[in-house]
């Protein structure tokens, strides 16, 4: 059974200033998602599932979905505020999406095979798809635990010079298992070093050089979605009640909860590739230059 690639594409990219998922970056107008799909197909994935909103459906399908579907199996799921478990309703005044954990939960019933998760607006490099596809091809439950994996990047390979970023800093044990993930929401290059601040840049704390970070490239068995629904219900009953307007159900936190409860363990697979993204509008030129260089060296065909 070939694994499925789930692409989270519901976000509108507020800091970037537009629908960055549909911003051309390649020599013939290719999008970042085009490169993700190309790498996934080359690595043996058998289906693409896009997580989008109904609000962007028409534009998304016209610019991307329809031409991919003409050559490769594609399905859609829709992340909407009212897509909630039975018995739950949207809190009054809530407009903010429920988060990345909810985005993946929306795939329940559609994704029935092992799957990889990525962000639509990130360039991961082919190695992540290869190592996670290999993991999914041989992963089985061990010691009664579901087997997850994540592709971990070297922090310095994920930063931008155009502002701050948020990254999940990983702790890894001697067996290569994830044992902790701390979200640092304000990381910048300060004096040439990766540092984080918790007070809007008044004070800085240096991060270990070469440390592993999560960029939301995960691999899961299909049964994980059932456990995710249970976690989302618990979130709605607790965290969401405390902050009904803004609380989010983050995928990394949901994974951490399953690990803490002894339901799963996560293998950390390091990639040497550089991550590229468009957190800020000024990042676009860097992404275009990187794609141009990889096109010139033959990694990607110009007319892909």
SS3 state at 48: strand
Q: Give the chain's mean pLDDT.
A: 93
CA distance 16 to 163: 11
pTM of the model: 0.93
Angle in degrees, CA 273, 276, 279, rounded to 5 = 150
* Domains annotated on the chain, with CATH: 4-296 (3.90.550.10)
- Give the pLDDT confidence score for residue 23 in this predicted structure: 82
202 CA to centre of own chain = 30
Taking a C-beta distance cutoff of 8 angstroms, is the pair 10, 79 a contact?
Answer: yes
Q: Quick one: DSSP state of residue 183?
A: E
Q: How does pLDDT run across 187-241, given as a tens digit for each residue?
A: 999 988 999 999 988 999 999 999 999 999 999 999 999 999 999 999 999 999 9
SS3 state at 207: coil
Taking a C-beta distance cutoff of 8 angstroms, is the pair 4, 115 a contact?
Answer: yes
DSSP for 98-162, written as a single string: --HHHHHHTTBTTB-S-EEEEETTEE--HHHHHHHHHHHHH---BTTBEEEEEEEEEGGGG--SS
Q: How does pLDDT run across 42-86, given as a tens digit for each residue?
A: 999 999 999 999 988 888 898 889 999 999 999 999 999 999 999
């Amino acid at each position: 059974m070939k694994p499925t690639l789930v692409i989270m594409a519901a976000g509108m990219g507020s800091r970037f200033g537009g629908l960055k998922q549909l911003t051309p970056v390649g020599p013939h107008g290719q999008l970042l998602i085009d490169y993700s799909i190309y790498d996934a197909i080359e690595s043996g994935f058998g289906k693409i599932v896009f997580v989008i909103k109904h609000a962007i459906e028409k534009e998304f399908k016209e610019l991307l979905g329809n031409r991919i579907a003409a050559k490769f199996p594609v399905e859609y799921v829709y992340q909407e505020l009212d897509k909630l478990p039975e018995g739950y309703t949207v809190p009054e005044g809530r407009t903010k999406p429920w988060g990345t954990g909810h985005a993946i939960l929306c795939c329940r019933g559609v994704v029935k095979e092992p799957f990889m998760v990525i962000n639509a607006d990130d360039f991961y490099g082919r190695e992540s798809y290869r190592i996670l596809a290999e993991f999914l091809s041989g992963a089985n439950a061990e010691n009664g635990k579901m087997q997850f994996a994540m592709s971990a990047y070297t922090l310095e390979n994920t930063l931008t010079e155009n502002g701050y970023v948020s990254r999940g800093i990983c702790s890894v044990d001697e067996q290569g298992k994830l044992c902790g993930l701390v979200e640092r929401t304000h990381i910048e290059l300060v004096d040439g070093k990766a540092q984080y601040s918790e007070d809007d840049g008044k004070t800085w704390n240096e991060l270990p050089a070469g440390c592993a970070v999560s960029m939301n490239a995960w691999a899961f068995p299909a049964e994980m979605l059932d456990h995710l629904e249970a976690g989302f219900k618990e979130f709605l009953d607790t965290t969401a009640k405390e902050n009904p307007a803004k609380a989010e159900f983050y995928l990394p936190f949901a994974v951490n909860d399953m690990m803490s409860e002894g339901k799963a363990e996560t293998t950390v697979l390091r990639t040497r590739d550089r991550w590229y993204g468009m957190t800020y509008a000024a990042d676009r030129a860097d992404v275009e230059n990187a794609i141009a260089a990889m096109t010139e060296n033959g990694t990607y065909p110009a007319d892909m």
